[in-house]
Amino acid sequence: MSPFEIARETLKRLAQQRTVPTPDNYRALYHEIAGTAEHENFPEKPLKALAAALPRATPEQLRFARQLDGAIGARNWEGVQSALTDLLNRNAAEPPNWSALIRDLVLRLEARQTDLTPARKREALERVLSATPTPELLHTRLQGLLKGWAQGNAPEAAQDAGADPAAAGVAG
């Protein structure tokens, strides 16, 4: 059957069955008559507009936007779902507790220790601050530094946190 004949037969059956001629009903009956699989419409234009409005200021935002653009261009719902799920999973992680860390940092900086002078503590803190590229890693390294100060083995704690051993405040 030609597409014209299928369309005519579709309209006839809609009338015979007294089915409301909505786009969804027409599409379902058309595919039934043609013997083809019904494909869900992909809202490419609105999704492209949405993707174009996304911020792309950080590498993570840029990576997400590119992943979403690729899925939209391929008209791939699974890719769109994967991009959104990845984004939400990354943002679902509980943010580090900065207030407790800063409070502990201030207390430990002011606390007197026989093995570490305040100057060496400040120097170690400055090294960790200047050598750490991301907030998450900074939080982890500062926790390691504070743990080392509290236990009196600052170089090992700083290494565990991924910092330079010299950043722990014990110079060789």
Per-residue confidence (pLDDT) for residue 149, from 0 to 100 = 87
Tell which phi-psi region holds residue 75, choosing left (phi > 0), alpha (psi between -120 and 50) or beta.
Answer: left
Residues 121 and 85 in one domain: no
Closest CA to 59 of 67, 71, 49, 51: 67
Per-residue confidence (pLDDT) for residue 113, from 0 to 100 = 84
Cβ count near 89 (within 10 Å): 9
Per-residue confidence (pLDDT) for residue 169, from 0 to 100 = 46
Mean pLDDT of 60-76: 92
Give the pLDDT confidence of 82-133 residue by residue, as tens digits. Answer: 999 988 887 777 778 899 999 999 998 888 888 888 888 999 999 999 998 8
Residues 48 and 87 in one domain: yes
- 154 pLDDT higher than 60: no
| Residue 51 within a domain | yes
| Number of compact structural domains in the chain | 3
CA-to-CA dists, residue 110 to 99, 113, 118, 122, angstroms: 17, 9, 7, 10
Helices and strands counted in the chain (H then E): 9, 0
Residues 115 and 156 in one domain: yes
Tokens of 67: 């992943």
